[in-house]
Amino acid sequence: MKSATLLSFTEENYLKAIYSLTQKHGSPETSTSHIAEQLSTKPSTVTDMLRKLADKKLIAYEKYRKIELTKSGKQLAILVIRKHRLWEVFLHEKLQFGWDEVHEIAEQLEHIQSEELITRLERFLGFPKFDPHGDPIPSANGELHAGQRITLSDVQINKSCEVVGVNDSSAVFLKYLQQVDIGIGTKIKVLEKISFDGSMAISLPRKVSISVSKKFADNLMVIL
Amino acid sequence: MKSATLLSFTEENYLKAIYSLTQKHGSPETSTSHIAEQLSTKPSTVTDMLRKLADKKLIAYEKYRKIELTKSGKQLAILVIRKHRLWEVFLHEKLQFGWDEVHEIAEQLEHIQSEELITRLERFLGFPKFDPHGDPIPSANGELHAGQRITLSDVQINKSCEVVGVNDSSAVFLKYLQQVDIGIGTKIKVLEKISFDGSMAISLPRKVSISVSKKFADNLMVIL
DNA sequence: CATAATTATTAGGCTCGTCTAAAAATATAT
DNA sequence: ATATATTTTTAGACGAGCCTAATAATTATG
Ligand SMILES: [Mn+2]
Ligand SMILES: [Mn+2]
Ligand SMILES: [Mn+2]
Ligand SMILES: [Mn+2]
């Protein structure tokens, strides 16, 4: 279960990016250009790294054809995500950082190498199950319970739901949520859906109803 | 007061190494070979970096002649040390790591870039004044109070003193101290000094007296 | 003070992660 | 089915950080 060779920051970020993309798009495969976009780098740079990750058996790679995490590649990606989310909990719960501030710092902390550190951090935090954005925290052996979360867009008219997370963790989206007083646990009822542009009218506790865009509703995760 | 260009891990480690060497040897200057040894690298590699640090005005460098931190170089070195020691406190106090385990992990954590993170960490820890090895924690504006600490070697026969820190933070020394039950706060009385090899006999609370080497006594910091 | 020993710098080369420009493969559209 | 557009890979280059071997400068010694 020990990874023989330690990975660089960069390699870890590639694994995480590939994992995120496969999750986001349903398919276990992804593309050079998507990875490049995700990491703000160039496709040619990605191709170089893909060859290296393939050499290390972290991805199954057939040029022009297939990019897919191997079992161990996926495992490592999940462990980085585990570290990232535990650090986010620490920053939010213990240091009182806002949920729009934690991601950037966790992006650095996730690469600290010490299994013992994460074991102890997790215990110190009381074995949290979710990060400040509602995303589940993988267990030490790499298990991740996705839950049956849907987007606000998928909620039918007149149904109520509860916010459990966000798809987009960018500070700009999180700040907007804060502004309209939506957070993890907020109850939302869908009043109306406009087929023209996918926008919807929703009601919030102790507030007049507000209108939100399709993009907004696509990025808010809820349970019924 | 803001550093214009962010430094790399490597650059930060060089500044810290130069600072430590000047402290250890009294003089504000140090040498290429000492830096190389401190960082487990080669003198030629050090020369390259010295040129870079000089370009950035972090050291005053005259080849074959002088290596000395500038005001801003020293300031940055102290801020890295501040981060290092605060993280060590966190690891020891909050995560219950042993004092021989914290250094290695702090060596990584000290490079996380976020001033706000350190500000909040310091508050979370209750504004500690010393790290787990008894070393003082610099303030946010870079002040460092050394205190009037001496080594055990400097203590006269029949005088008593109290352990306040160590000069050598290696795990092997710290584990040895733990074994003979010496830690921060331990009271020691010097019974005898052997001029032949500099070793000394000391008495410890609720223990028979033990003999320690010159090297041991040189690395244990005490106050009278 | 001249020679030897030590220390520091330069020269040249390597890997990693990045880029731009060009070529090749694949996908799309007429 | 061919031509066009898009995506991906290759070729070649660069800076950072490291190395070894060779050279230069300084320091120590007889
Ligand atoms: Mn995040
Ligand atoms: Mn990252
Ligand atoms: Mn330390
Ligand atoms: Mn370091």
CA-based nearest residue in chain A for residue B93: A124
What is the CATH classification number for the domain harbouring A59? Answer: 1.10.10.10
Query: For position B105, what pLDDT does the model report?
Result: 97
SS3 annotation, B131-199: CCCCCECCCCCCCCCCCCCEEHHHCCCCCEEEEEEECCCCHHHHHHHHHCCCCCCCEEEEEEECCCCCC
Strand D at less than 7 A from CB of A47: yes
Task: Please tell me whether residue B221 adopts helix, strand or coil conformation.
Answer: strand
Q: Would you say residue B144 lies in a domain?
A: no
Q: How far is the CA of B214 from the C1' of D18 (A)?
A: 37
Assigned token pair, B136: 């003082």
Residues of A in contact with B113 (CB under 8 A): 108
pLDDT of residue A198: 86
* Mutation choice for A interface testing from B88, B114, B123 by most A CBs within 10 A: B114
A-chain residues within 8 Å CB-CB of B116? 97, 101
pLDDT at A1 over 80: no
Question: Which residue among A96, A113, A120 sits closest to B95, beta carbon to beta carbon?
Answer: A120
Average model confidence (pLDDT) across chain A = 93
- B88 and B49 within one domain: no
The reply to whether A145 falls in a domain is: no
Rounded distance in angstroms from the CA atom of residue A64 to the C1' atom of nucleotide C23: 14
Q: Is A72 left (phi over 0), alpha (psi -120 to 50) or beta?
A: alpha
Q: What is the pTM of this model?
A: 0.85
- Cα separation of B221 and B204, whole Å? 15
pLDDT, tens only, A41-89: 999 999 999 999 999 999 999 999 999 999 999 999 999 999 999 999 9
Mean of pLDDT values over A97-112 = 96
pLDDT digits (tens, 9 = 90+) for B106-116: 999 999 999 99
CA distance A8 to A116: 19
- Domain assignment present for residue B145? The answer is no
User: Is residue B97 domain-shared with residue B157, that is, in the same domain?
Assistant: no
Distance A17 CA to D2 C1' (A): 38
- Residue nearest C8 (alpha carbon to C1'): B64
Which of B108, B136, B164 lies at the terminal end of a domain, its last residue? B136
Residue A24, domain member (yes or no)? yes
C-alpha A57/C-alpha A73 separation (Å) is 7
Domain boundary among B112, B136, B160: B136
Burial (Cβ within 10 Å: 0-12, 13-18, ≥19) of residue B15 = buried
**CA–CA distance, A77 with A83 (Å, rounded to integer):** 10
Cα dihedral: B112, B117, B120, B124 (round 10): -40
- Contact yes or no for B30/B59 (Cβ under 8 A): no
Q: What is the DSSP string of A170-208?
A: -HHHHHHHHHTT--TT-EEEEEEE-TTT--EEEE-TTS-
Q: Please give the helix or strand (H or E) that residue A69 lies within, else none.
A: strand A66-69
Measured in Å, residue B23 CA sits from the centre of ligand 3 at 15
Min distance B121 CA to chain A CA atoms (Å):
7
What's the total number of domains in chain B? Answer: 3
Q: What pLDDT was estimated at residue A168? A: 87
Among residues A184, A189, A222, which one has the least CA distance to residue A206?
A: A189
- Nearest nucleotide, C1' to the C-alpha of B33? C7
Whether the Cβ atoms of residue B190 and residue B200 lie closer than 8 Å to each other: yes
The ligand with the least distance to the CA atom of A16 is 2
Quote the tokens at residue A129: 């199950």
Residues A55 and A99 in one domain: no
- Residues B187 and B125 grouped into a single domain: no
User: In the structure, how far is the CA atom of residue A47 from the C1' atom of nucleotide C20, in angstroms?
Assistant: 15
Residue numbers in B near A95 (CB within 8 A):
117, 120-121, 124
Return d(Cα B18, Cα B73) in angstroms, integer: 10
Give pLDDT, residue B24: 87
Give the angle subtended at the CA of A169 by the CAs of A164 and A174, to the nearest 5°. 80
Question: How many other CB atoms are found less than 10 A from the CB of residue A8?
Answer: 11
Give the range of the structural domain holding residue A46, as residue numbers without chain letter: 9-69
Nearest CA in chain A to B95: A120
Q: Among residues B26, B54, B69, which one ends one of the domains?
A: B69
Please report whether residue A189 resides in a domain: yes
Compute CA distances B47 → A139, B25, B50, B60, B76, whole Å: 46, 20, 5, 13, 20
CA of B142 to the centre of ligand 4 (A): 18
Residue B1: predicted pLDDT: 47
**Is the CB of residue B48 inside 7 Å of nucleic acid strand D?**
yes
Calculate how far, in angstroms, residue B197's C-alpha sits from the geometric centre of ligand 4. 35
Count Cβ–Cβ pairs < 8 Å, chain A vs chain B: 37
Instruction: Summarize pLDDT for A14-38 with one digit per residue, the tens.
Output: 999 999 999 988 899 999 999 999 9
**Distance (Å, whole) CA B177 – CA A100:** 45
HSE of B151 in the Cβ direction (CA atoms, 13 Å)?
16
How far is B118 from B134, CA to CA, in rounded Å?
19
Query: In this structure, are A127 and A90 located in the same domain?
Result: yes
Residue by residue, pLDDT tens for chain B (224 residues) are 444 578 999 999 999 999 999 998 889 999 999 999 999 999 999 999 999 999 999 999 999 999 999 999 999 999 999 999 999 999 999 999 999 999 999 999 999 999 999 999 999 999 999 999 989 999 999 998 877 889 999 999 999 998 988 988 888 999 999 989 998 889 999 999 998 888 999 999 887 789 999 999 999 999 88
Name the closest residue (CA) to the C1' of nucleotide C21. Answer: A44
Residue B91 lies in a domain: yes
pLDDT tens-digit map of A184-220: 889 999 999 998 888 999 999 887 789 999 999 999 9
Which residues, 6 or more positions from A131, have their beta carbon under 8 angstroms from its beta carbon? A84, A85, A86, A88, A89, A137
What's residue A4's pLDDT?
58
Residue B155's pLDDT is what?
92
**Percent above pLDDT 90 for chain A:** 77
* Rounded distance between C-alpha atoms, residue A120 and residue B94, angstroms: 9
**DSSP per residue, A113-179:** --HHHHHHHHHHTT--SB-TTSPBPPPTTS-----S-EEGGGSPTT-EEEEEEES---HHHHHHHHH
User: How many Å separate Cα B164 from the centre of its chain?
Assistant: 13
Q: What is the CATH number of the domain that holds B209?
A: 2.30.30.90
Buried b (16+ CB within 10 A) or exposed e, B164-181: bbbbebeeebbeebeeee
- Chain D nucleotides near the protein (CB, 7 A): 7-12, 16-22, 25-26
CA distances from A141 to A1, A127, A162, A203, B167 (A): 9, 14, 29, 41, 39
